[in-house]
Structure 1
């Protein structure tokens, strides 16, 4: 059976650089690991984790995964290496293919747990971050089977069928010759391509579901496992390579069923799990402000210098405003100075009589006696000011207004009434009034 169109197989899967062989199978595995780490780092950073954690954990998980994958393959196909006509040394020839995904995931998880404990982070959170990356790595790694012309499916006669060379077609059990059923069959199901595309679809599904439903605490990883096992089940049923059968199903089919049930059960049990995950403290950038300093920078924090600086304008405001108010209050101060003689006249009035100050003058505050002692000097000034009787403006000063003149005359009248005991001497009364009033207004 030779269809007109098909997918050709590579003529070789290894190249030599001098004594060093470059194997396509190993290159595909390495590319898959690089893709998984790259995608895992991006998703881990999106979770708020510290950059570089995925690489550190991969140092443990990848070697464990490779060993686990090889052990699973050797154990499930032990007759190839330890059976009749087998060679145990071939169990170490990993470059010829033979990595079981279930062993790789199981033992790789052990390495991941070790790496996570060393970094003090949650292995479930890390599993969610790397889940789509693992699926992508599987999709890339499956092309290693293409280069080795292995793990293909039943015969297929269509344009996407994979052509397999004669020396890679199924062999007889326990014999070196080709199986007669496939001796003349050249094209088969490209199961490597089916699984590669399925794995890429699983990676996209996990990324979408994680963004849509916020899958945390290992649920994204469980979704990856459940989705992958569904595809692996029907792809495994197409393969014709040697495998152990249990109750009519290949061993990998039973493994897929058990793992699928476990993954779905975990998704159900963890459906209500929420809350923060331990992803480690991110490393602060050179210009970043630590959280402690950031909280201290809030208003009202006494330890922060910026809070005190922010309060300075409030402290300066009361200093400026009273100054402005004092300038605005100058007219009122002038009026108060004009009224000041009213309080001082009772002290000055008794002096012309030659008598002692009244009792009220003694009870007045301390400034009152000072004004009484300074009265002789103002009397001389008052005499000078008394000459121009008709000019009241010099008496009140430059700041006085006509209104203040009227107020100054009114106290003078009151002083005259209090000193009115000597009504016969009217001129003396007028002198006493003028002596008392200019003393205060002249200042």
Structure 2
């Protein structure tokens, strides 16, 4: 019996191009576009609230490098077997351009760096956090396209019409090179495009954050808490669909646990912020 595939999503034939000796990596380009979009959204939202535009650029100066370092640290720690084994080269842990940035570490260390900056400059952090939240998740959505080019962050094999075809890629010597090589046209497998699921989920959360911020009067810091809760809720069910190698804890992927724990923490913070706001309002009446 022959199975006819009606329509599959193809992977890009390659994720790296060369301008002479200079490699142009799609993953890095997507990350940079995502950062620029996040900055644009944050600048508009923060200045509309009366914030100082210079604080946006100051925050970017500390958040971007801190985010890259934090994201890489999280990835290396949770996937340490890829870099520290008998046949591994530990130096590869520093090769950010090959992919591997954990959003958890990026947001966490980036947030710490920005919080330290605002504390040093004696500027309230919560209004900026609410302004930056939609921009962050929009940037994350664009960044997921980098995973598409790298043929990574995908789910289990499937025959759904929107399945993602993973191509066999080789380098100039004909050796298997999934990240840096060029497609031979051979399809290795067809899988759930979890990168696309997360991209679409992030766009949905972006739209909801903008809508909620316009429609409701919430305590300062609430939009950022909702961003964290919304993202981790989606990441939880998407992680359950993934089939690539990952560190496992009690039978579940480490990011599944992190998603659940951070989601509960974000919801608790959101509720606490609303309770504190109501208490302040009652005291002033």
Equivalence for 1:148: 150
The number of aligned residues is 263
Equivalence for 2:227: 224
Equivalence for 1:201: 204
Q: Contact conserved, 2:239 with 2:255, CA < 8 A, in 1?
A: yes
Q: Contact conserved, 1:132 with 1:203, CA < 8 A, in 2?
A: yes
Q: For 2:274, what is the secondary structure of its paired residue? A: coil
Equivalence for 1:211: 214
Q: Contact conserved, 2:166 with 2:187, CA < 8 A, in 1?
A: no
Q: Which runs of 4+ in 1 moved over 4 A?
A: none
1:167–1:84 Cα change, 3 Å: farther
The question of 1:132 aligning with 2:134 is answered yes
User: Which has the higher Rg, Structure 1 or Structure 2?
Assistant: 1
**Quick one: distance in 2 between partners of 1:69 and 1:41?**
23
Q: Contact conserved, 2:155 with 2:242, CA < 8 A, in 1?
A: yes
Shift of residue 167, structure 1, vs aligned partner:
4.8
1:196–1:4 Cα change, 3 Å: same
Equivalence for 1:89: 91
Report matched runs for 1:23-422 at 5 Å. Answer: 23-167=25-169, 186-274=189-277
Q: Contact conserved, 1:202 with 1:224, CA < 8 A, in 2?
A: yes
Which has the higher relative contact order, 1 or 2, with Cα contacts under 8 A spaced 6 or more apart?
A: 2
TM-score by length of 1: 0.57
Q: Contact conserved, 1:41 with 1:52, CA < 8 A, in 2?
A: no
**Quick one: distance in 1 between partners of 2:160 and 2:189?**
12
1:52–1:247 Cα change, 3 Å: same
Equivalence for 2:282: none
**Quick one: distance in 1 between partners of 2:56 and 2:5?**
46
**Quick one: distance in 1 between partners of 2:122 and 2:234?**
35
1:134–1:124 Cα change, 3 Å: same
Q: Per residue, is there more strand in 1 or in 2? A: 2
Q: For 1:166, what is the secondary structure of its paired residue? A: strand
Shift of residue 271, structure 1, vs aligned partner:
0.3
**Quick one: distance in 1 between partners of 2:233 and 2:48?**
29
Q: Contact conserved, 2:167 with 2:188, CA < 8 A, in 1?
A: no
Shift of residue 166, structure 1, vs aligned partner:
3.0
Q: For 1:165, what is the secondary structure of its paired residue? A: strand
**Quick one: distance in 1 between partners of 2:169 and 2:244?**
14
Q: For 2:116, what is the secondary structure of its paired residue? A: helix
**Quick one: distance in 2 between partners of 1:166 and 1:61?**
36
TM-score by length of 2: 0.87
Structure 1 runs not aligned, ≥5 long: 169-175, 177-182, 276-443
Q: For 1:3, what is the secondary structure of its paired residue? A: coil
Structure 2 runs not aligned, ≥5 long: 171-175, 177-185, 279-285
C-alpha deviations, 1:321-344, integer Å up to 9, x for none? xxxxxxxxxxxxxxxxxxxxxxxx
**Quick one: distance in 2 between partners of 1:111 and 1:22?**
29
Q: Contact conserved, 2:219 with 2:274, CA < 8 A, in 1?
A: no
Q: Contact conserved, 1:191 with 1:235, CA < 8 A, in 2?
A: yes
Q: Contact conserved, 1:70 with 1:100, CA < 8 A, in 2?
A: yes
